[in-house]
C-alpha cells in the first residue's frame, strides 16, 4: 500500500466492523471512518480544495482531527497540523509560509478563511459521493513544523512514502499485532503521536486517543475499560504519571504488551521505576527526529542494559557514522556524526534549500548527534554534537552524568554543560535543581558521582538554578545554560 489512507480503505473492506478510533466522545469502526472520510472529502472538494492545497489544521486531539487529515490526503491535498490553542499570529505565519488560505480551527479570532470542527463533524455525517484515486507514494501529504526551540520553526515536508516507511518502522520495532489497542496521549500535531497513530491504522489496529495525561483518573480508567494492551508516551508524560498515580501501573503488568517512548531521553529514576512496576512489559525506546523518524529501537527492560544505547536500526533504516564527510568504522575512541538512510527521510525543508542541503548527504539525513557503533552492532549515542563535552580528547555524554546525578537524594533535575578549561579545552560543569531550592552537600555529591563514572567525567563545578529549562516534551535546553 502506497499511503496510510489506502490502508484505511483496505481495512474498511476487510474488517469494516472493527473499532478503529476511540476518543473522549465516541468510538468508530473502520467502515464508518471510511464513510466519514469520503463525506468530508466531498465537502472539501466542493469548496475548492484540490491536489497540492495546503490546509492549516489546529489539533483537536479527536477523531475529527484525523478525519480532516485523511480526507485531505484522499484529495492529494496537504495537511499542516499545528498545536491546540495555537496563537493566531503563529497560525497565520504558518499559513503564509505554506501559501495556505484555509484553516480548520474553532478559534473565532482567526482572520483568514476558517472551518470550525462543528462544520467538519456535520460534513462528515452528510452522505456524499466522490470520484477519487489513491495518492501516489511520492505525493506530498503533510508538513510538520518543528518546535523551534533553537530558532525559527522549520517546515518538514513529508510524502506518503515517508509516512508508510515510518509506520512500518514502528510496527516492526514493537512487533505490533493486528489486535493491538494502543493508547496515544501525545498530540496529533507532533510527529511522535501522529506517527504512532499512523502505524496502528496502517496495521489495522485500534487507537485510543487521550488529551494528554493530566487527567490521570480517566487515563487509567480507559486503560482498564478499553483493555488497552500498548501505550505511547514521551518521557515528560511518564514523569507526570509516575508522580500522580503512585504504583497504579503495576495493575497492568499482565495486560500491557509494550510501552513505546521517544522524543527525548528518559530520566534514570523514571526508567528504573517503570521497569520495577512492569517487569513483564516490553519498554521500547525509539530514536529519531521529525526529519527522519523511528530509525533505531532499544528495549531497555532487559538485563545488562547498556548506558546511552539507542539499539539497532529498524526495518527501513540504515545507520552509519560520518566524520569529515567520510563514513567510518567507529568505536568508543573513534566517534562521529550519526547519519540515517531510508524511505522515512523527509523530502526537504519547506522553501529552504540551504538548510536542506546542510542535512542531506548522499541520500542520508545527517543528524547533529555524536555516536559510535559498538562491537555488538548497537549504537551508542553520546549526545548532540554541540552538547558532547571534549575533555582533553575524551568524549563525555552529558546524559550519562545527568542520569547519575538524578539518583542523588534531593535533586529534582540537572544539566551537564561544557565549561572552558585552559589545558583540557573543556570540562563538565553541573547545574542542579533541588527540592525547595535547598542546598546540598556538594562534596557528598561529587563523591557519589566519582563512584559511578570515570574521573575525567566528574564535574569540577556545581551551580544551583531555580528551574532547569526544558522543552514541551522534556528535552533539556542546554544551550540556555552554557556560560550562564
Range of the domain at 447: 387-480
Query: Are 360 and 392 contained in the same domain?
Result: no
Query: Are 315 and 363 contained in the same domain?
Result: yes
Q: Is residue 381 part of a domain?
A: no
Between helix 191-203 and helix 4-14 the angle, nearest 10°, is 40
Query: Are 185 and 153 contained in the same domain?
Result: yes
Q: Is residue 343 part of a domain?
A: yes
Query: Are 178 and 217 contained in the same domain?
Result: yes
pLDDT by residue, tens only, the chain of 484 residues: 999 999 999 999 999 999 999 999 999 999 999 999 999 999 999 999 999 999 999 999 999 999 999 999 999 999 999 999 898 988 999 999 999 989 999 999 998 999 999 999 999 999 888 889 999 999 999 999 985 434 578 999 999 999 999 999 999 999 999 999 999 999 999 999 999 999 999 999 999 999 999 999 999 999 999 999 999 998 889 989 999 998 999 999 999 999 999 867 777 788 889 999 999 999 999 999 999 999 999 998 887 888 889 999 999 999 999 999 999 999 988 999 999 999 999 999 999 999 999 999 999 999 989 999 999 999 999 888 777 888 887 788 888 888 889 889 999 899 999 888 888 888 999 999 999 889 999 999 999 999 888 888 999 899 999 999 887 656 788 878 876 5
Q: What is the pLDDT of residue 282?
A: 96
CATH number of the domain bearing residue 469: 3.30.300.30
Q: What is the pLDDT of residue 195?
A: 96
Query: Are 8 and 111 contained in the same domain?
Result: yes
Query: Are 72 and 123 contained in the same domain?
Result: yes
Last residue of a domain, one of 348, 373, 398: 373
Q: Is residue 302 part of a domain?
A: yes
Last residue of a domain, one of 341, 373, 405: 373
Query: Are 291 and 440 contained in the same domain?
Result: no
Query: Are 326 and 447 contained in the same domain?
Result: no
Query: Are 68 and 22 contained in the same domain?
Result: yes
Query: Are 81 and 156 contained in the same domain?
Result: yes
Query: Are 200 and 289 contained in the same domain?
Result: yes
Q: Is 228 exposed, middle or buried (0-12, 13-18, 19+ CB in 10 A)?
A: buried
> What is the model's pTM?
0.86
Query: Are 244 and 198 contained in the same domain?
Result: yes
Last residue of a domain, one of 343, 373, 403: 373
Q: What is the pLDDT of residue 148?
A: 45
Amino acid at each position: 500500500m502506497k499511503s496510510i489512507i489506502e490502508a484505511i480503505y483496505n481495512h474498511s473492506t476487510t474488517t469494516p466492523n472493527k473499532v478503529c478510533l476511540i476518543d473522549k466522545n465516541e468510538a468508530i469502526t473502520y467502515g464508518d471512518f471510511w464513510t466519514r472520510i469520503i463525506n468530508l472529502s466531498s465537502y472539501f472538494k466542493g469548496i475548492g480544495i484540490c491536489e497540492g492545497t495546503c490546509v492549516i489544521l489546529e489539533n483537536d486531539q479527536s477523531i475529527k482531527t484525523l478525519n480532516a487529515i485523511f480526507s485531505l490526503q484522499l484529495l492529494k491535498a496537504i495537511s499542516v497540523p499545528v498545536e491546540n490553542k495555537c496563537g493566531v499570529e503563529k497560525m497565520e505565519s504558518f499559513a503564509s509560509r505554506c501559501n495556505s488560505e484555509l484553516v480548520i480551527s474553532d478559534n473565532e479570532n482567526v482572520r483568514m478563511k476558517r472551518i470550525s470542527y462543528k462544520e467538519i463533524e456535520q460534513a462528515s455525517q452528510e452522505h456524499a459521493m466522490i470520484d477519487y484515486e489513491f495518492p501516489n507514494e511520492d505525493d506530498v501529504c503533510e508538513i510538520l513544523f518543528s518546535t523551534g526551540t533553537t530558532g525559527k520553526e522549520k517546515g518538514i515536508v513529508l510524502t506518503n512514502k515517508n509516512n508508510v516507511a515510518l509506520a512500518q518502522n514502528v510496527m516492526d520495532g514493537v512487533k505490533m499485532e493486528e489486535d493491538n489497542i494502543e493508547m496515544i496521549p501525545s498530540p496529533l500535531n507532533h510527529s511522535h503521536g501522529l506517527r504512532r497513530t499512523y502505524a496502528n491504522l496502517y496495521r489495522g489496529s485500534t487507537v485510543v486517543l487521550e488529551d494528554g495525561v493530566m487527567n490521570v483518573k480517566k487515563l487509567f480508567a480507559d486503560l482498564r475499560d478499553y483493555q488497552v494492551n500498548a501505550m505511547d508516551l514521551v518521557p515528560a508524560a511518564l514523569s507526570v504519571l509516575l508522580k500522580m498515580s503512585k504504583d497504579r501501573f503495576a495493575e497492568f503488568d499482565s495486560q500491557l504488551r509494550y510501552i513505546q517512548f521517544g522524543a527525548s531521553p528518559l530520566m534514570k529514576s523514571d526508567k528504573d521505576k517503570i521497569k520495577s512496576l512492569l517487569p513483564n512489559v516490553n519498554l521500547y525506546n525509539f530514536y529519531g527526529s521529525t526529519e527522519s523518524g523511528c530509525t533505531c529501537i532499544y528495549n531497555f527492560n532487559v538485563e545488562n542494559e547498556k548506558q546511552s544505547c539507542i539499539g539497532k536500526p529498524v526495518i527501513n533504516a540504515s545507520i552509519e557514522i560520518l566524520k569529515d564527510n567520510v563514513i567510518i568504522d567507529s568505536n568508543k575512541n573513534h566517534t562521529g556524526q550519526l547519519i540515517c538512510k531510508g524511505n522515512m527521510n523527509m523530502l526537504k525543508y519547506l522553501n529552504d534549500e540551504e538548510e536542506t542541503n546542510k542535512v542531506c548527504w548522499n541520500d542520508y539525513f545527517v543528524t547533529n548527534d555524536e555516536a559510535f557503533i559498538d562491537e555488538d552492532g548497537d549504537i551508542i549515542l553520546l549526545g548532540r554534537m554541540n552538547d558532547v563535552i571534549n575533555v582533553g580528547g575524551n568524549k563525555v555524554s552529558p546524559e550519562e552524568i545527568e542520569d547519575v546525578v538524578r539518583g542523588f537524594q534531593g535533586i529534582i533535575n540537572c544539566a551537564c554543560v561544557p565549561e572552558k578549561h585552559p589545558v583540557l579545552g573543556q570540562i563538565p560543569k553541573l547545574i542542579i535543581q533541588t527540592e525547595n531550592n535547598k542546598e546540598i552537600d556538594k562534596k557528598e555529591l561529587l563523591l557519589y558521582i566519582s563512584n559511578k563514572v570515570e574521573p575525567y567525567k566528574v564535574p569540577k563545578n556545581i551551580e544551583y538554578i531555580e528551574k532547569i529549562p526544558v522543552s514541551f516534551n522534556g528535552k533539556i535546553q542546554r544551550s540556555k545554560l552554557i556560560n550562564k
